Chains A and B, each alone.
Chain A
Amino acid sequence: MIVRGEGEMMLTLEQDHLSRLREQAGRGLAPSQMLRDLLSRINPEEPRSPVLAWYLMHAFGLEQHQVAAVFGWDPNGTGPLDDARLDELLARHIPAKVGG
């Protein structure tokens, strides 16, 4: 039950990071590389995967199910999905040439 507060809350998504993701995709960078670069810049608190997923959704106009792979990936290689599988799954949805 939500007992206090109405209206909207927002984690802040930085426009610079969104633009950088689009530019990286335009250069053909692998999604795993893009996400590692993003993590090095934003260093979100745990859990990190929702923030990464949200950035991808906003940067590329995707629905959440299209970025579901992010929730199974860990940059340290400890998640159920490795870099290759993440890249394969996200490449289906991230436009190859989006420009900066």
Chain B
Amino acid sequence: MSGPTLVVLPPAGVVACEPDIQAATSTVFLLRNRRKPGNFIMASVGVQTGNFSYHVQNLPKDGTGCPGRWLVQLAWEHFLRQGCAIAGIRGEWIFGDNLDQVNALTQRGGMSVEDAARQTWSAARAAERGMRTLAVLAADGTPGQYRSIDVLFTP
């Protein structure tokens, strides 16, 4: 690694959060928690599309570590400081909480995949950034048993 050192103060009141920014460029942001290997965020902005994508993780779910919501905010602010004009937030949900939640909400004749996607953790993060319009670009599987869902949030 090269370049200047960036130091991030963890939010007040959290336990075992020692942020270490490993990359902060105009297209990629990577921060890991030195105290918890399963806690990190990698985010990027597509050069051609201007879409923000991220993977945030805080495992095990034991109440410690850098909060995911805070990590997303750090990444978002980084790209805004870089002058990025973020067009949308792109997600490809193939495992994890968002996909699990959509499957839980769509099983047995429940919600549509679109309505379920609007109830996810990532949809809430998108809404916080003014990205409230959801497009489900692709969905592989059947209600309650989706294997992957591609989404795009735009203003």
Contact = CB atoms under 8 A, between A and B. Distances in A.
Interface residue tally on B, bucketed by range? 35 or more
Interface string B44-69: 10100101011101000000000000
Interface residues of A, number: 31
Interface of B: 1-9, 21-26, 28, 30, 32, 37-38, 40, 42-44, 46, 49, 51, 53-55, 57, 74, 77-78, 90-96, 148, 150
Contact of A9 (B4, B44, B51): B4
A82 to B, nearest CB: 11
Contacts, number: 111
26 contacts: A1-B9, A2-B7, A2-B21, A2-B77, A4-B6, A9-B4, A9-B5, A9-B21, A11-B23, A47-B32, A49-B42, A54-B28, A57-B44, A63-B51, A64-B42, A64-B44, A64-B53, A64-B54, A65-B53, A65-B90, A68-B53, A68-B91, A69-B94, A72-B96, A80-B95, A89-B94
